[in-house]
Amino acid sequence: MNWRQLLVFVRKELTDHRRDRRALLSASVGVVIGPLLISFMLTQIAKDQIAAEDITISIAGAAYAPTLVTWLEQQAGVTVEDAPAEAEAAVRAGTLDLAVVIDEDFQQDFSESRPALVKFIYDGSENNLRAKISRTRQLLSGYSATTGALRLMARGVSPQAAQTLEVQEVEVSSAQQRAAKILGILPMMILLSAFGASMGAAADATAGERERGSLEALLMNPVALSAVVGGKWLGAAVLSALGSTACLLLSALAMQAIPLQDLGIRFQLEAWQLGLGVLILLPAAFLAPALQMLVCSFSKTLKEAQPHLGFLTMLAMAPGMIAAIYGAENADWMLAAPFFSQTKLLSSVLAGERPEVWQVVLSAALSLAAAAVCLQVIARLMRSENLVINR
Amino acid sequence: MIEATNLSKRFGETVALDGLSFTSRNGRIVGLLGPNGAGKTTALRILYGLLKADSGAVTIDGSDVESNKLEARRKIGALPDIQGLYPRLTARENIYYFGRLHGIDEKTLKRRTGKLIEQFDMGSIADRSAQGFSHGERMKTSLARALVHDPPNVLLDEPTNGLDVPSVRALRQVISNLRSDGRSVIFSSHVMQEVAALCDDIVIVARGKAVAVGSPDDIRRQAGCEDLEEAFVRLAGPEAGSAL
């Protein structure tokens, strides 16, 4: 390896990339978009959660069950209003969130100790209403349980006799683990930013050089191919490393700004988590440009390289996405798949878990080995006459 | 000094070179003259070591291009047919880049680049990015970039293509200065007058072979006519005439 030449290449690549405004702009969009998107989504969820505690219940036939309506009005944060005529149609059309329809025989059934009919109308496909729906349902069953207990007591029976089970809910996931679940897509976003940050640079250093014809002029110099390929790669890898680190730090900042405690989530990123996160991320940031340069080496022009880069990114992210959709359990084999392994490790670090040292080392070693193989192949390709003279 | 012996090269079914030999000595200018597609660019690319000849050999100041590629490349400065500047670098930075790849120390590099910029009258464009350069400005920059390591052998692939008249005249002056510095210069062209005006030796290339070699006078004698252009057409064959 000719170190002096390697440095010349890195220096030139960095100067070149720094001046490529368009590539820099799209790289920064890639860095910012993930944190923005996730903080937006989490803020929305937090808002819905607060909104759920203050609910308005539309009731049709309130006059048939004055005690129920009064009881509801007494509950904290509950407002009762009269439902419009055709309440069911209004919910169906989405103009009304939810409605409770009280049967006209309510009073009679109730006083004769028969179950009195209350119709609860809602649209379960409305994700943002989920909290309101479950609160309303809880209120209705709460009223049912309270009045039922009173009836039993009036008959001299202990209300406990009607209760055959005592269900005690023990939530085992820690608050931070729950946070990680919602934030599950964040690691993927950060890895995507590693791809986005180096994409323009990697394409320019390979397909771009061929398109301009500068590769021919460059390779006429007494240069070692290992230095050519290594220098171009390092130049792009710096961008990838900077971009993904920035994305990680930005996400951490964004998370501090969101009222996550409203979600019942304690999400506190500590310095060790960020440090370890960067350490896990860097090998992926080194592999991404190597892969990008490899696929772009087969293209004669930048335009030809574009779709290859898109497919590459999708392919690299595919295991992570599939696992997220099907909720795959953590398994050791996942550490063998580059990008997937970083997604997994980052998730657990963000959730406040400390991965084993061997897991971090294995993930890094495999990614770096894959990068080395890519660079070897690129150097071999550059020996090909067709590539050099861009035929 | 460059010696090319019996170079042959095929691309699939196409025969690009078919036993081409020529020599270029220090302090002399050799013109590779031939119609488009005669194999001039292929021959030059073999000299830079970018293409490997199927048979034959090239030595540059005694270094074999195939077995001692890096050493051979140190002794040549070349202007390929596509100049390939880096559009986001300035003219000066483009020159520095190649100079550094040759391992020239910074002090010498700055001095030589400054001299080349002055010599090629590039002062006004030296610190502009190459993005918007005219053809002539790109040409000058590429040439300066090829000469920054002070190579004893200079290879120019159709350097006058697309240049306006003042630029061609300036370039001719540069080429003849290279000869008076004692360098060996090879340049290719498909224009007879250009070659006749500058070259000490002419190699007429057609269908991958040297069909005539010698001084302009030798060529006239071989063709049996006084007019060089007529001689070129006679020697290179009918397709050369159409290429003119």
Q: The tokens of B175 are what?
A: 């080429």
Domains of chain A: 3-45+176-389 (no CATH), 52-163 (3.40.1710.10)
Q: What pTM was computed for the model? A: 0.80
Reported confidence tier of residue B205, pLDDT bands at 50, 70, 90 = very high
Q: Which residues of chain A does B103 touch, with a Cβ-Cβ cutoff of 8 Å?
A: 4-5
The Cα–Cα gap between A369 and A379 comes to: 15
Q: DSSP per residue over B63-120, as a string? A: EETTTTHHHHHHTEEEE-SS----TTSBHHHHHHHHHHHTT--HHHHHHHHHHHHHHT
CB contact under 8 A, A214 and B70: no
Average pLDDT over residues B25-46: 92
Q: Which residues of chain A does B88 touch, with a Cβ-Cβ cutoff of 8 Å?
A: 15-16, 19-20
The 10s digit of each residue's pLDDT in B59-110 is 999 999 999 999 999 999 999 988 789 999 999 999 999 999 999 999 999 9
Of all residues in chain A, the percent with pLDDT exceeding 90 is: 45
pLDDT attached to residue B242: 47
The helices-and-strands tally (H runs, E runs) of chain A is: 16, 4
The Cα–Cα gap between A391 and A384 comes to: 11
Instruction: Note whether A43 and A258 are within 8 A (CB).
Output: yes
Q: What is the ipTM of this complex?
A: 0.91
Q: DSSP per residue over A177-214, as a string? A: HHHHHHGGGHHHHHHHHHHHHHHHHHHIIIIIHHHHTH
Point out the least confidently predicted range of A151-165, B55-69, B112-126: A151-165
Which amino acid belongs to residue B84? G
Q: Is the pLDDT of residue B241 over 50?
A: no
Q: Is A4 on the interface with B (CB under 8 A)?
A: yes
pLDDT attached to residue B239: 57
Q: Which residues of chain B does A214 touch, with a Cβ-Cβ cutoff of 8 Å?
A: 84-86
The 10s digit of each residue's pLDDT in A208-255 is 999 998 999 999 999 999 999 999 999 999 999 999 999 999 988 888
The Cα–Cα gap between A219 and B73 comes to: 10
Could you tell me which residues are beta bridge partners of residue A59? Answer: A82, A100
Q: The tokens of B68 are what?
A: 């001692």
Average pLDDT over residues B19-40: 92
Burial of A172 (0-12, 13-18, 19+ CB in 10 A): exposed
Mean per-residue pLDDT of chain A: 86
Q: Is the pLDDT of residue A261 over 70?
A: no
CB contact under 8 A, A224 and B142: no
Point out the least confidently predicted range of A115-129, A132-146, B169-183, B219-233: B219-233
**Hey, is A54 helix, strand or coil?**
coil
Reported confidence tier of residue B235, pLDDT bands at 50, 70, 90 = confident
pLDDT attached to residue A161: 80
The Cα–Cα gap between A237 and A369 comes to: 15
The 10s digit of each residue's pLDDT in A108-154 is 998 888 899 999 999 888 767 777 888 888 889 889 888 888 888 88
Q: Is the pLDDT of residue A320 over 90?
A: no
The 10s digit of each residue's pLDDT in A186-198 is 888 899 999 999 9
Of B45, B49, B129, the CB nearest to A389: B45
